[in-house]
Amino acid sequence: MSKKIMATEEQIAYAKLLDLGMKAGLLLLVITFAVYVFGILTPHVPVNDLPNYWKLPVKEYLEVTHIPHGWAWVGMVGKGDFLNFIGIVFLAGVTIVCYLRIIPILLRKKDTMYAVLAIIEVLVLTLAASGVLKSGGH
């Protein structure tokens, strides 16, 4: 078995895109959080009211604050708190993009098994992100 001395081409490609995505997401979060805490956009849940809600189970919290499930937050990005979901979702999506980046490299190298694994992973993460899967709540 040949030994790797350096990281592989796909590993470096993944790392470079991950680095870029991570820094962009971090910058995005810093900006949107500043907008939130400085009150530049009015939040949906007033900051002073948060201690009344953060002790509640999530199902009850959503009911009393009238916050919808899933991707409906997109319609609320004009609110200071929900604006932060852009950065949160961006970071949660970086991994999917990194996988998409390495699939062509793996296919070109005829590393079929790992290309299939990467494709499966993209499908798994996309399913999780879709909002189709919901929990019953307690």
Please report whether residue 38 would count as binding another protein according to CB under 8 A.
no
The CA distance from 63 to 81, in Å, is 17
User: Of 39, 40, 42, 47, which one interacts with another protein (CB under 8 A)?
Assistant: 47
Closest to another protein by CB, 88 vs 107, is 88
Report the distance separating Cα 100 and Cα 15, nearest Å: 13
40, 56, 64, 100: residue in contact with another protein (rule CB under 8 A): 56
CB distance 125 to 56 below 8 Å: no
Are 39 and 80 spatial neighbours (Cβ–Cβ below 8 Å)? yes
- Quick check: 41 binds another protein (CB under 8 A)? no
Using the rule CB under 8 A, which residue among 41, 77, 91, 107 binds another protein? 91
- The DSSP secondary-structure symbol of 57 reads -
Helices 9-37, 80-108: axis angle to 10 degrees equals 170
Task: Verify binding: residue 103, another protein, rule CB under 8 A.
Answer: no
Residues 8/50, Cβ–Cβ less than 8 Å: no
Q: Give the interface with another protein as residue ranges (CB under 8 A).
A: 1, 3-8, 10-12, 14-16, 18-19, 21-22, 25-26, 29-30, 32-33, 36, 47, 50-51, 54-58, 61-62, 67, 69-71, 81-82, 84-85, 87-89, 91-92, 94-96, 102, 113-114, 117-118, 120-121, 124-125, 127-129, 131, 133-138
